[in-house]
Amino acid sequence: MNAHFHHAGCGCLQALNAGIPRRGLFGLALGAAATAAAAPAFAIEDQGYEAMLMKCIDPRFTTNSWAYMAARGWQNAYSQFNIAGGPIAAVAPVFQEWRAAWEANLDISVQLHNVKRLIGMTHRDCGAAVVAYGERIKTDRAYETQMHTQALRAFRDQAKKRQPQLIVELGIMDLSGAVEPVT
């Protein structure tokens, strides 16, 4: 069969043009496969994640959330659960139907990945917070802070009941990416 099914930039066509016969390519491929099979595995065994981040789905905060976690030294060492409102969704009565998914995800993440910390992160100007706590949250910054703080503390209490060994850290991210810790 003389048909060539590869594109002009693939290495096998160049090798054929250089005078390496198809059988030589087959032998080369066979040798590479045998070497790969005998080589030690380079995949790192899952030793667990340092943290799990629970945050909102708002795309304005994706990069800043990643930067926050990377700055903590947790790049590629944390899992995350994103849902509208983040921690607010886990505690506000209006989002009660979503709670089971969050709780199951937390439990399996701890079980499978030995998560040690839970980071609960809400953010300013959150549409889900408006749904949960009303329009006032958009115009009264003190009220917004109060409601986020209450939600985050309830989130921490709920998480500690399910997974008492977790260290739970809380914060409110502003539009610039700065995080205000909540104790």
Which tens digit of pLDDT belongs to each residue from 102-128? 999 999 999 999 999 999 999 999 999
Q: Where in the chain is the domain with CATH 3.40.1050.10?
A: 51-182
Query: Which numeric CATH code is attached to 51-182?
Result: 3.40.1050.10
Q: Which residues are registered as beta bridge partners of 54?
A: 81, 120
Q: Quick one: pLDDT at residue 19?
A: 58
Does 16 score more than 80 pLDDT?
no
Q: Predicted confidence band at 49 (pLDDT cuts at 50, 70, 90)?
A: confident
Q: Which of 75, 52, 63 is nearest to 173 (CA)?
A: 63
> Who contacts 54 (Cβ-Cβ below 8 Å, separation ≥6)?
80, 81, 83, 86, 87, 90, 102, 106, 118, 119, 120, 121, 155
Indicate the pairing of strand 179-182 with strand 167-173.
Answer: antiparallel
Hey, what are 14's tokens?
Answer: 């160049």
Query: Can you spell out the DSSP letters for 57-74?
Result: --GGGHHHHHHHHHHTT-
Which pLDDT does position 52 carry in this prediction?
97
Which DSSP symbol is given to 97?
A: G
H or E segment to which residue 89 belongs = helix 87-91
Lowest mean pLDDT among 32-41, 72-81, 153-162: 32-41
pLDDT at 41 over 50: no
pLDDT value at position 28?
47
pTM: 0.75
Measured CA to CA, the distance from residue 9 to residue 39 in angstroms comes to 29
3-class state of residue 145 by DSSP:
helix
- Amino acid type, 170: L
Average pLDDT of span 161-175: 97
Tell me whether strands 117-123 and 78-82 are parallel, antiparallel or unpaired: unpaired
Side chain identity at residue 146, one-letter code: Q
